[in-house]
Chains A and B, each alone.
Chain A
């Protein structure tokens, strides 16, 4: 499979009053053609910043890429100027935002907001663009598109607006679509429809998707692979099966244990991860998760954990995988779903020392 995106040791920080917030602290991952990677993590874990950095949408300043590379089709985006980025944004990489109620311009006709992309990137005449806009609206499942293109966003329902946003995002056939919590603001039935639509369109257009969410139910539904982010780092990444059935990082355990499931008995209380994420102006020494982690080892408070490889596709950043670490049992709710995967290596391999 072709790699379309390679992020290498990316570091992003924001200069704010009171210091420098290190929002992304050395993230590396690859994305293949036609694949969906889900990025999960709680608010403030850096998942949105990471992905907006891929499009260079973070305001700079105060934002700053302090290190690393973003290779998109082999070209480093970090070095590109704003003018060069204009040719990539909307054409090669596009984005769907969380809140469809606010992400469309309220004073511009929906059709115009779609044709804008086509006129900018596709060299179309305005007549062609208009026809294509109708086609796109039909493609995303909006009935009577001929009439709808002349309407304003406030005449659309929430789900319809998100469909229109998807039409805008896909207008120029981008090879990468970043969806930043696209279903969070929608009600559950509409969520399912939008997810179906995205999967369907992905098949048709062979687009790669980075799907940012904090809803693990959605992840199971759409993703091929999952990256779990905590405090600006990817703490575990693997295929959906590996993350759901063989999670290795205690933070992933915590996330999975806090997810309600149909099999859990109703006497059982839903667990929550105690505490709050660390202040990234002064990231803690050692493992950023240690303070909230009941499995934390003494070394977690001293040294950053190294990255271990558990299978061909599965990596986790925790001292628990170290050969000398004590054997610990994951929480009941996680243990119940754990199963042996054939792809898992005999023993975790150390791939990268912690910094």
Chain B
């Protein structure tokens, strides 16, 4: 196990290096630079700025410097927000996005799995149709419509939750629902189809032939095996959600990380683009690793690379 994880960590570093390199050069190829604005800067000032941020050096020196800084977990200063570093932006924004993301995931997983299980057990009955209609809504309604809809109903009409801002727990409810709706719907559909598949297996008949009650049969023999596809969906989902959503954060006025992903690009804010990309990549790689480990725990047939059992 230790051997497996250390091997995976090594692969992660390689992947990360490739991601950093690709982003670094793609960013430079894109036309424009951080100081491009409608009002053209005098060449002297631009030269000064370039010098200040090290943009005047040859690309390989910049690239090398950047790699060294990343190893030190220093993403450098932001070009757009003077006096703030990318580390500051992440340190401020990530806890907010993380909280919101975890709430959304919790909602998506809990409701999605329950809906999926009910739909599978009541296959082709009204419960199934209801659950799947909810799921189709969740998938097809874009999050900005979902968000404004929730605000209108629960905040403005019913007054149950605040409309926006990020202060108390009740401020987090609506954005979490809006953010979790689509993954919830995906999880419900995944759970339903894999439950149906598991239920048609021979070993379910064996369980029934043993005289197990329906409840015991479902809890012990079905759900665990049906959750594998959901677990594999969870990896990318978790990384995507806890790094925040531009749309949801804008609508609810949440100071999260999501907006930096979008705005940094149009600002050509090189260091922020790099910083959030690297940060997101690390989260994604870690969550995929966690999913793979969870896979091995859920399904004993999946042995973690090369190692013998119990290693």
Are B211 and A103 within 8 A (Cβ)?
no
A60 sits at the interface (CB 8 A): no
Are A104 and B203 within 8 A (Cβ)?
yes
Are A120 and B203 within 8 A (Cβ)?
no
Partner of B220, one of A95, A104, A108: A108
A219 sits at the interface (CB 8 A): no
Are A99 and B202 within 8 A (Cβ)?
yes
Are B202 and A154 within 8 A (Cβ)?
no
Partner of B206, one of A88, A107, A120, A168: A168
**Least CB distance, B301 to chain A, in whole angstroms:** 5
Are A120 and B202 within 8 A (Cβ)?
no
Q: Write out, one digit per residue, whether chain A residues 123-165 have a CB within 8 A of any chain B CB (1) or not (0).
A: 0000000000000000000000000000010100000000001
User: B208 to chain A: which residues have CB within 8 Å?
Assistant: 57, 89
Are B225 and A89 within 8 A (Cβ)?
no
Are A117 and B203 within 8 A (Cβ)?
no
User: B301 to chain A: which residues have CB within 8 Å?
Assistant: 106-107, 152, 154
Are B203 and A91 within 8 A (Cβ)?
no
Partner of B201, one of A90, A91, A102, A165: A102
A116 sits at the interface (CB 8 A): yes
Q: Write out, one digit per residue, whether chain A residues 80-120 have a CB within 8 A of any chain B CB (1) or not (0).
A: 00110111111100110101001111111000000011001
User: A99 to chain B: which residues have CB within 8 Å?
Assistant: 202
B224 sits at the interface (CB 8 A): yes
User: B209 to chain A: which residues have CB within 8 Å?
Assistant: 55, 57, 89-90, 94-95, 97
Partner of B300, one of A55, A103, A107: A107
B221 sits at the interface (CB 8 A): yes
**Least CB distance, A194 to chain B, in whole angstroms:** 17
A288 to B97, CA, bound (A): 70
Are B205 and A103 within 8 A (Cβ)?
yes
Are B210 and A117 within 8 A (Cβ)?
yes
**Least CB distance, B138 to chain A, in whole angstroms:** 29
From A88, A99, A105, A116, name the one whose CB has the most chain B CB atoms within 10 angstroms.
Answer: A105
A121 sits at the interface (CB 8 A): yes
Q: Write out, one digit per residue, whether chain B residues 191-209 have a CB within 8 A of any chain A CB (1) or not (0).
A: 0000000000111011111
Partner of A107, one of B211, B213, B299: B299
B61 sits at the interface (CB 8 A): no
A55 to B207, CA, bound (A): 13
Are B203 and A102 within 8 A (Cβ)?
yes
Give the contacts of B193-244 with A (CB-CB under 8 A).
201-203, 205-214, 216, 220-221, 224-225
Are B211 and A105 within 8 A (Cβ)?
no
User: A94 to chain B: which residues have CB within 8 Å?
Assistant: 209-210
User: A116 to chain B: which residues have CB within 8 Å?
Assistant: 210, 212, 220
User: A82 to chain B: which residues have CB within 8 Å?
Assistant: 214
Total chain B interface residues with beta-carbon distance under 8 A: 22
User: A152 to chain B: which residues have CB within 8 Å?
Assistant: 300-301
Are A168 and B299 within 8 A (Cβ)?
no
Are A107 and B205 within 8 A (Cβ)?
no
**Least CB distance, B295 to chain A, in whole angstroms:** 11
User: A90 to chain B: which residues have CB within 8 Å?
Assistant: 209-212
Nearest B residue to A152, CB-CB: B300
A165 to B209, CA, bound (A): 11
**Least CB distance, A211 to chain B, in whole angstroms:** 16
**Least CB distance, B149 to chain A, in whole angstroms:** 39
Are A97 and B206 within 8 A (Cβ)?
yes
Are B224 and A107 within 8 A (Cβ)?
yes
A121 to B209, CA, bound (A): 12
**Least CB distance, B82 to chain A, in whole angstroms:** 56
Nearest B residue to A105, CB-CB: B203
Given known A-B contacts A102-B202, A168-B206, A91 and B299 have beta carbons under 8 A apart: no
A108 to B220, CA, bound (A): 9
Are A103 and B225 within 8 A (Cβ)?
no
**Least CB distance, B218 to chain A, in whole angstroms:** 12
B298 sits at the interface (CB 8 A): yes
User: A103 to chain B: which residues have CB within 8 Å?
Assistant: 202-203, 205-206
User: B210 to chain A: which residues have CB within 8 Å?
Assistant: 89-90, 94, 116-117, 120, 168
**Least CB distance, B215 to chain A, in whole angstroms:** 11
Q: Write out, one digit per residue, whether chain A residues 242-259 have a CB within 8 A of any chain B CB (1) or not (0).
A: 000000000000000000
Are A154 and B221 within 8 A (Cβ)?
no
A103 to B209, CA, bound (A): 11
Given known A-B contacts A152-B301, A154-B300, A88 and B211 have beta carbons under 8 A apart: yes
A90 to B210, CA, bound (A): 4
Give the contacts of B277-311 with A (CB-CB under 8 A).
298-301
User: A97 to chain B: which residues have CB within 8 Å?
Assistant: 202, 205-206, 209
User: A91 to chain B: which residues have CB within 8 Å?
Assistant: 211
**Least CB distance, A89 to chain B, in whole angstroms:** 4
Give the contacts of A264-315 with B (CB-CB under 8 A).
none
A120 to B208, CA, bound (A): 12
Q: Write out, one digit per residue, whether chain A residues 210-252 have a CB within 8 A of any chain B CB (1) or not (0).
A: 0000000000000000000000000000000000000000000
A152 to B224, CA, bound (A): 15
**Least CB distance, B156 to chain A, in whole angstroms:** 47
A57 to B221, CA, bound (A): 17
Partner of B207, one of A83, A105, A106: A105
- Interface residues, chain B, CB within 8 Å of chain A? 201-203, 205-214, 216, 220-221, 224-225, 298-301
25 A-B pairs with CB atoms under 8 Å apart are: A82-B214, A83-B213, A85-B211, A86-B213, A90-B210, A90-B212, A95-B206, A97-B202, A97-B206, A97-B209, A99-B202, A103-B202, A104-B206, A105-B207, A105-B221, A106-B203, A106-B225, A106-B299, A106-B301, A107-B300, A108-B221, A117-B210, A117-B211, A120-B210, A165-B206
Q: With A86-B212, A89-B209, A95-B206 given, can you name 10 additional A-B contacts, CB distance below 8 Å?
A: A83-B213, A90-B212, A97-B205, A99-B202, A102-B202, A103-B206, A105-B225, A117-B210, A154-B300, A165-B206
What 4 pairs between A and B have smallest CB-CB spacing? A90-B211, A89-B211, A90-B210, A102-B202
